[in-house]
Amino acid sequence: MTRQVVFSPSGRRGAFPEGTTVLDAARALGVDLDSVCGGRGICGRCQVVMGSRPGVEARPDRLSEPGPTETDYQGRRPLGAGHRLGCAARIVEDVVIDVPADSQVHRQVVRKRAGVAALPVDPVVRLHYVEVPEPDLASPTGDLERLLAALEQEWGLSRLVVDPPVLTDLQTTLRSGNWAVTVAVRHARDLIGIWPGFRDVALGVAFDVGSTTIAGHLCDLLTGSVLATSGVMNPQIGFGEDLMSRVSYVMMNDDGATRLTDVVRGALDDLLGELITEAGVDRGDVLELSVVGNPIMHHLLLGLDPRELGTAPFALVTTSALDTPAIDLGLQVHRGARVYSLPCIAGHVGADAAGVVLSEGPHRGERLQLLVDVGTNAELVLGNQDRLLAASSPTGPAFEGAQISSGQRAAPGAIERVRVDRATLEPRFSVIGQELWSDEPGFDFGAVTGVCGSGIIEAIAELHLAGVIDTDGVIRQPANPSSRVVASDRTFSYVLCAEPLVEVTQNDVRAVQLAKAALHAGARLLMDHYGVDQVDEIRLAGAFGSHIDPKYAMVLGMIPDCDLDRVSAAGNAAGVGAMMALLSGVARSEIEEVTNQIEKVETAVEPRFQEHFVAALAIPHKTNPYPLLSKVVDMPPRPEPGERRRRHPR
Ligand code: FES
């Protein structure tokens, strides 16, 4: 007798002989129901619950009584209340079967962190448990051939390419597992690992390799959960603070590239060790890795020559996504593990920008998004589902605290937040590593060491709002002279902190003007190409993007005028993109396809870039009065045309 089965949420349905297991019915209908053990009641990944629909109410006797496989089940994934093992429960009446998200091979894992969409989980590495017939004198075949035949028969895996180390281990593993083994198969194509008996541990690591810091996320490939997150400084800093100085190092030293490659690979392996220790797992459990980074970091990590990236036309060795054996990058993980590097977009828009695009998904919606990843080179992406454009802007290192008289990297002791009293022009500020503001009792002035990128941006923006810095970026002594504004040669400086002395000098303002004008001009150029004067949303990616206050970024005119509510930090979007690529083959296909379609705009050869740059030197902008910002921020009056020159004493 046959029984009707309907699966939800897929809606797939069919008729099966009474006694068919739920897992077999699901497989026959192509329902997304997970299994590692192949229906042997070991893995617990096939759990289902009974559903209902009109005429077919949920009733336990629609499935067979739980037998010993379920009552004695003690797998790693506990059997939830009302849950049945799909491989053990048999259909005895018409039934509706719900497949919970946790039991789907392709599922969405919702991250609690705001702004991050559900992460798809469908890893490219899958584990398969299989029992292999013992050798037989009557039919002499190799152990490998019998393993491959069993995998084809049970899992439909054919034409597998076997990694050499698997072959080396094969015979001892089969025998120690008593002819039952678990294999790891990548992309349903490469047999990369083998273990005796049943195993359901498969881990992955996503790396975001920045020029200053490297972040790593250790994830469970089966569940999508993040087991540990950590970061280290990029030791390449010892060879040059910014990217171009590292390329120069490579150009000037025969072994330069090798040395930079060696130190970054060493740092990744050290970071791996930290993650492994924190999560209490083994290096050998790591079967897959992913990596994002700007083009120079990307090339140096992979051992590719970055010298062409130092000069126009900034040719990459390749823009394609790559799979590299982890062992070739000096990473001590499972011997079969591969490192997937996301595609690069253009010579100065790297795999990190691809990670941001994957994470933020401008191509998935109608809203016109501007993604800004600020660094020595700002990477910019503008677009929506219709069209995506990308460019980079040579912002230089001012936003990272370099070229600033009291500048420093964002580290303990750096002034990061600044407020200036509009009446007295007295400042108050906070520094990294102290809870208190400088005007609160107990603040430790001795711990102040300088000002970082976000601090100098806030200082200049606040001084502009307070009338100390004019639209042209000139520091002026106000009508009521302030002891904070001091003459320095033929210009003025503003004393942010008297002891130790931290000033905002005229040269500091100029350096920030140049950097912010480059950033603005790049964004404006993309808007020209898209044919718009305004964007719907601006997302500031990266560590710096998370630290700067969108209001001050806009007061300075770093970014185009926009509804302030629609300007926000995207957090570690590149790292999230790396994680998405780690956990999902679909995400990899998506970003590879999107990257191919992104239109690249080369700022260096666009005459309008220079025009936009000059107009953007003013604060916030020479011709754009920032009407949207002016609705929420009390902007200083703009000089009338012709007035500006008269107000310049010099
Ligand atoms: S498939 Fe593994 S327990 Fe059911």
pLDDT confidence of residue 113: 43
Count, in order, helices (H) and strands (E) of the chain. 17, 29
- 399-457 per-position pLDDT tens digit: 877 789 999 888 889 999 999 999 999 999 999 999 999 999 999 999 999 999 899 99
What does the DSSP assignment read for 64-96? PPP-HHHHT---SS---TTEEETTT-BB-S-EE
For the Cβ of 48 lying below 6 angstroms from any atom of ligand 1, the answer is no
Domains and CATH numbers, the chain: 2-105 (3.10.20.30), 124-196 (3.10.20.880), 203-344 (3.30.420.480), 358-393+511-630 (no CATH), 406-504 (no CATH)
For the Cβ of 83 lying below 6 angstroms from any atom of ligand 1, the answer is no
Question: Residue of the nearest CA to atom 1 in ligand 1?
Answer: 39
pLDDT confidence of residue 53: 86
Ligand 1 centre distance from Cα of residue 42 (Å): 6
Ligand 1 centre distance from Cα of residue 79 (Å): 11
**What is the spatial distance between Cα 203 and Cα 218, in angstroms, rounded to a whole number?**
7
For the Cβ of 44 lying below 6 angstroms from any atom of ligand 1, the answer is yes
Q: What is the mean pLDDT of the chain?
A: 91
pLDDT confidence of residue 545: 83
Contacts of 628 (CB under 8 A, 6+ apart): 561, 562, 563, 564
Ligand 1 centre distance from Cα of residue 108 (Å): 21
Q: Residue 117 pLDDT > 70, yes or no? A: no
Q: What does the pLDDT average to over 58-64?
A: 92
Peptide bond into 620 cis (omega under 30): yes
Q: How many CA atoms lie within 13 A of 296 on its CB side?
A: 27
Question: Residue of the nearest CA to atom 2 in ligand 1?
Answer: 43
Residue among 46, 109, 47 nearest 80 (CA):
47
- Who wins on pLDDT, 637 or 284? 284
For the Cβ of 39 lying below 6 angstroms from any atom of ligand 1, the answer is yes
pLDDT confidence of residue 237: 82
The residues that bridge with 8 in the sheet, in sequence order, are 98
The residues that bridge with 389 in the sheet, in sequence order, are 382, 599
Residue of 35, 90, 103, 130 best suited for mutating to test ligand 1, as the one with most atoms within 8 Å of CB: 35
pLDDT confidence of residue 241: 72
Q: How many residues comprise the chain?
A: 650
Q: Residue 115 pLDDT > 50, yes or no? A: no
Q: What does the pLDDT average to over 55-69?
A: 91
For the Cβ of 35 lying below 6 angstroms from any atom of ligand 1, the answer is yes
Cβ atoms of residues 554 and 636 within 8 Å: no
- 303-353 per-position pLDDT tens digit: 999 888 888 788 899 999 999 999 999 999 999 999 999 999 988 899 999
For the Cβ of 33 lying below 6 angstroms from any atom of ligand 1, the answer is no
**What is the spatial distance between Cα 449 and Cα 411, in angstroms, rounded to a whole number?**
9
Residue of 33, 34, 46 best suited for mutating to test ligand 1, as the one with most atoms within 8 Å of CB: 46
- 472-490 per-position pLDDT tens digit: 999 998 888 899 999 988 8
Give how far Cα 342 sits from Cα of 34, 207, 349, 370, Å: 27, 11, 12, 21
- Who wins on pLDDT, 464 or 604? 464
For the Cβ of 485 lying below 6 angstroms from any atom of ligand 1, the answer is no
Ligand 1 centre distance from Cα of residue 15 (Å): 22
- 132-164 per-position pLDDT tens digit: 999 988 878 999 999 999 999 999 999 999 999
Ligand 1 centre distance from Cα of residue 66 (Å): 14
For the Cβ of 559 lying below 6 angstroms from any atom of ligand 1, the answer is no
Q: What does the pLDDT average to over 290-298?
A: 94
Atom index in ligand 1 nearest the CA of residue 36 equals 2
pLDDT confidence of residue 223: 87
Residue position matching structure tokens 């109410």 = 57
pLDDT confidence of residue 488: 83
For the Cβ of 22 lying below 6 angstroms from any atom of ligand 1, the answer is no
For the Cβ of 127 lying below 6 angstroms from any atom of ligand 1, the answer is no
- 536-561 per-position pLDDT tens digit: 999 998 878 888 899 999 999 999 99
Ligand 1 centre distance from Cα of residue 218 (Å): 26
The pLDDT > 90 percentage for the chain reads: 72
Q: Cα-atom radius of gyration of the chain, to the nearest Å?
A: 30
Cβ atoms of residues 85 and 39 within 8 Å: no
Residue of 45, 73, 99, 198 best suited for mutating to test ligand 1, as the one with most atoms within 8 Å of CB: 45
DSSP H or E segment with residue 121: strand 119-121
pLDDT confidence of residue 110: 52
Contacts of 58 (CB under 8 A, 6+ apart): 50, 51, 52, 96
DSSP 8-class letter at 33: -
Atom index in ligand 1 nearest the CA of residue 38 equals 1
pLDDT confidence of residue 469: 96
